[in-house]
Amino acid sequence: MLRTPVAEALGAASAASEIRIGGWVRTRRDAKGFSFLELNDGSCLGNIQCIVDEGTAAWDKLEGVNTGACVAVTGELVESPGKGQKWEVRAKDMTVFGLADPETFPLQKKRHSDEFLRTIAHLRSRTNKYGAAFRIRAEAAHAVHDFFYQNGFYYVHTPILTGSDCEGAGEMFRVTTLPLNTPVKPGENPYAQDFFGKECSLTVSGQLEAEALALGLGKVYTFGPTFRAENSNTPRHAAEFWMIEPEVAFTDINDNMDLAESLTCFVINRVLERRADDMDLFDRFVDKGLVDRLKGMVAQPFARCSYREAIDILKASGKNFEYPAKFGLDLQTEHERFLAEEHFKRPVAVYDYPKEIKAFYMRQNDDRETVAAMDVLVPRIGELIGGSQREERLDVLESRIREMNQDPANYWWYLDLRRFGSVPHSGFGMGFERLVMMLTGISNIRDALPFPRTPGSLEF
């Protein structure tokens, strides 16, 4: 079923005597002796206008063709006399693949709310906004791979089914093949009869395995789905999200912040360059000034400040935060946004957090109070990236694991990496949906991924 993508037809260098366009009807307007069909095929934001004249074979098939129907129009690509588009199709013939009853098709030609469109997520890629969002998402993913490829990283695949809790936050989805209510004898391993013979969960991060691979391959990254059973209903948290996790041997926390900044800027530039039409939609209808703000982000270096400085800035701000800003407490979204949006007015990497609020694997600083952690905070979102230099010293890592009341024996292979040929290394995790939110101005994570999973919501 040969067809020319609408993006290609709209950008054609010259007219064509025969072209076939397949797409979904966005609108149909009837006039005396002819009809206009606006077709969109997802290849770009724009529609192509098809004129169906009375007397053509196409005209005879117009019955019931309305918004939402899927058709293929064959005709001539001619210069459009109308404004707004260079080319249009003068239809000769048409194949009608699927009609859409206007009484029941939910996407009529009007503006629908994001909340409503979430209830029809299976159809929302046929709207301008979500078509644009998912094209930008695809472009950003491609940019991530290009960035790492160009910089000599290997794309590695870390497991999704796992027996370890990387973040130690206990927010894992359990995976089992046991029937519900399987009785457990007292004193017996409750997972003895289960598929793996031990507790299995969906991964919260590929980091631990990425570290193992970095200590053999040098520079690696994973880019895959991760899962968190945090019961927090916020516009920034999803139960299933995608994470980009580079891990690099022979690097410290400063190298890590440099890498985070270059990756972020690379993706911004790429999306602005290659998806200008889609970005323009977000700039005009979703988040005014978005494109200029993104250009501003890449025009100057990100700010950097220690957690200690950040706390001082927050205390001196005179702002009435809901949560206190105090050394030893984690930064809340309101703090993160204040720092990026109002204080620095650009992305900021905050480093050297108190060890109590960070994960066991982060490298202890000489002050013994902080660890070489870094978070990149961006305007409107807060935390985009979280990472650290990793603890490469066996004895320090073992005692950190014990301090967290964990058994080092469970981390035998992770500790082996420090036993055999250890080296300073670092990495981070970038939340891909948060990146898409930053790129588009979309304010709810439920709209940055096609089929969001959040507490109480598992449709589609």
Could you list the residues that contact ligand 4AD (CB under 6 A)? 166-167, 205, 207, 228, 230, 237-238, 241, 243, 245, 383-387, 427-429, 431, 433-434, 445
**CB-nearer residue toward ligand 4AD: 131 or 429:** 429
**49: Cβ contacts below 8 Å, ≥ 6 apart:** 36, 37, 38, 39, 80, 82, 85, 88, 89
**CB-nearer residue toward ligand 4AD: 107 or 384:** 384
Q: State the minimum distance, in angstroms, from the CB of residue 238 to ligand 4AD.
A: 4
Binding mask 335-374 for Mg ion (x = CB under 5 A): ----------------------------------------
Task: Report how far residue 251's alpha carbon sits from residue 260's, in angstroms, rounded to the nearest whole number.
Answer: 13
**37: Cβ contacts below 8 Å, ≥ 6 apart:** 25, 27, 28, 49, 50, 52, 65, 71, 73, 91
Q: State the minimum distance, in angstroms, from the CB of residue 102 to ligand 4AD.
A: 38
**CB-nearer residue toward ligand 4AD: 89 or 172:** 172
Closest residue to Mg ion, based on beta-carbon distance: 386
205 binds, among Mg ion, ligand 4AD, none (CB under 5 to 8 A by kind): ligand 4AD
**CB-nearer residue toward Mg ion: 73 or 172:** 172
Residue 242: which of 145, 378, 382, 120 has the closest Cα?
145
The beta-strand segments (E) located in 313-436 are 348-354, 370-378, 382-389, 425-431
**CB-nearer residue toward Mg ion: 298 or 430:** 430
**CB-nearer residue toward ligand 4AD: 283 or 433:** 433
Instruction: Tell me the CA end-to-end span of the chain in Å, nearest whole number.
Output: 29
Q: Are 423 and 249 in contact (CB under 8 A)?
A: yes
28 binds, among Mg ion, ligand 4AD, none (CB under 5 to 8 A by kind): none
Q: Are 118 and 54 in contact (CB under 8 A)?
A: no
**CB-nearer residue toward ligand 4AD: 166 or 202:** 166
Rg of the Cα trace of the chain? 26
Burial 331-361 (b: 16+ CB within 10 A, else e): bbbbbbbbbbbebbebbbbbbbbbbeebbbb
Joined together, the tokens standing for residue 10 give: 């709209």
Q: State the minimum distance, in angstroms, from the CB of residue 100 to Mg ion.
A: 44
Q: Segment contacting Mg ion (CB under 5 A): 6-14, 157-165, 381-389, 396-404?
A: 381-389
Position 131 contacts Mg ion (CB under 5 A): no
Task: Report how far residue 317's alpha carbon sits from residue 339's, in angstroms, rounded to the nearest whole number.
Answer: 10
DSSP H/E element including 37:
strand 34-40
Joined together, the tokens standing for residue 178 give: 């046991």
Position 386 contacts Mg ion (CB under 5 A): yes
433 binds, among Mg ion, ligand 4AD, none (CB under 5 to 8 A by kind): ligand 4AD
What backbone torsions phi and psi does residue 387 show, to the nearest 5 degrees?
Answer: -160, -170
441 binds, among ligand 4AD, Mg ion, none (CB under 5 to 8 A by kind): none
Q: State the minimum distance, in angstroms, from the CB of residue 211 to ligand 4AD.
A: 9
Q: State the minimum distance, in angstroms, from the CB of residue 374 to ligand 4AD.
A: 9
Q: State the minimum distance, in angstroms, from the CB of residue 387 to ligand 4AD.
A: 4
Joined together, the tokens standing for residue 284 give: 């005009």
Q: Are 272 and 364 in contact (CB under 8 A)?
A: no
Q: Segment contacting Mg ion (CB under 5 A): 209-217, 232-240, 274-282, 382-390?
A: 382-390
**CB-nearer residue toward ligand 4AD: 68 or 431:** 431
Interface residue list for Mg ion (CB under 5 A): 386
